[in-house]
Amino acid sequence: MPDHPTLASLAADLDSGRTTARKLVEECLARIADPAGEGARTFIHVDKDAAIAAADAMDHLRKARAAPSPYAGIPVSIKDLYDIKGQVTRAGSRALEDSAPAEADAPVVARLRQAGFIVIGRTNMTEFAYSGIGINPHYGTPKSVWNRSVGHVPGGSSSGAAVSIADCMAYGALGTDTGGSCRIPAAYNGIVGYKPTQVRVPLDGGVPLSSSLDSFGPLARSVACCAVLDAVLADEAVQPLQPRTVKGMRLAVPTTIALDDLDEEVAKTFERALATLSRHGALIERIEVPEFHDVGVMNSKGGFAAAESYAWHRYLLTGKGDVYDPRVRVRILRGEGISAADYIDILKARRSFIARTEQRIAPYDALVLPTTANTPPRIADLADDQAFTTQNLRSLRNCTLINMLDGCAISLPAHREGEVPVGLMLAAAGGSDRRIFELAAGMEDVIRV
């Protein structure tokens, strides 16, 4: 496996002439094509010719001192959920294969291109983004970086996005996050995944799962990499990230739900990270957040995801329901039983939940909790539907709390070299994005010592 450069180091290499966009793209394409690797399962489509042409264009612009940004020429991957002009958006499904090609790039894809990033291909995902596990029966399931000879799930739904970063098939990835779909695969593959405050990034040009909960966010090698990509996606100027000193950070560990039923390795790694942060001067308080119990009530009939996905899929299911992943189809169909009155009740309950939870966590810089309750399960162990359902819920549980809060959150790798991947999540109320990045940048190296 190659070294894992950051966007900053790649930008420096491009600026100095130590590398070229063409070389970066060709290296990524070689890794994707490696028959011993995960490329065939990680990518649904590889845009080889267009990527090489774009790389040559960026190299010419850089020579003319006209590169659109310091990151021009760096390859990124795009989750199959997004429109790319001239391509069919399948959303990891066979049901959309005969759809018309997209007439325009999704705004987030266009913004990446405007900054000079090079789209290298479309990454695999859970069909229609409806699972935290990452298994796809149509296009295969890319393996997590952990214990590849055995085969563990990559996390979902942005499965290919995470593996493309972990295996240096791209240096930034565009994912989505409705209940953890950026953060879960990041945790399972030892990288960083970010869920922004929803209103920061436009949702146009992406196949929706839940319009109330969907967020479009990045996966990358480091906190600083995600901060760069997040700024581009939000159409903001890229500002230097100033890491906060760990000493004096006010962190709250929610003891309600978030610490229940943790795998032994998750609990051990999480507590070790907390102890390390405390030694470095972080002020850590364990608090009850009784509002978190409301989330299970709101989701008892399927919640926003079931209601809103059913509204989008109901006609497609009538004609092509037989080609859906059965595990996805059954979850969408739960929405058929949610009445308009039920949906209005959930909307009202969520507004109350957000107001009460924001008030409770306001004294703290961030919540800190395990990203997932479980380590990446073995693919072979999830052939049974009940085992799949159990592990899927355990993967989604903690992340979903923050989506329902309409907050922002980041998953950082907390394990040490050679240990099973475990993510530590920092989260806060909506609008706290810059603070979360600064806190995460201050602790990302500390917590793995």
Distance (Å, rounded) from C-alpha 79 to C-alpha 89? 10
Amino acid at 338: I
**Eight-state DSSP code of residue 169:** S
Residue 54, burial from CB neighbour count under 10 angstroms (0-12, 13-18, 19+):
buried
What are the structure tokens assigned to 295, written together? 């989330």
What SS3 state is found at 409? strand
The residues assigned a catalytic role are 79, 157, 181
Distance (Å, rounded) from C-alpha 262 to C-alpha 287? 18
Please calculate the CA angle 55-76-179 and round it to the nearest 5 degrees: 165
DSSP 367-402: EEEES-SSPPPBGGGGSSHHHHHHHHHHHHHHHHHH
Nearest one of 41, 36, 132, 137 to 376, comparing CA atoms: 132
| 122 contacts 45 by C-beta, under 8 angstroms | yes
| 85 contacts 105 by C-beta, under 8 angstroms | yes
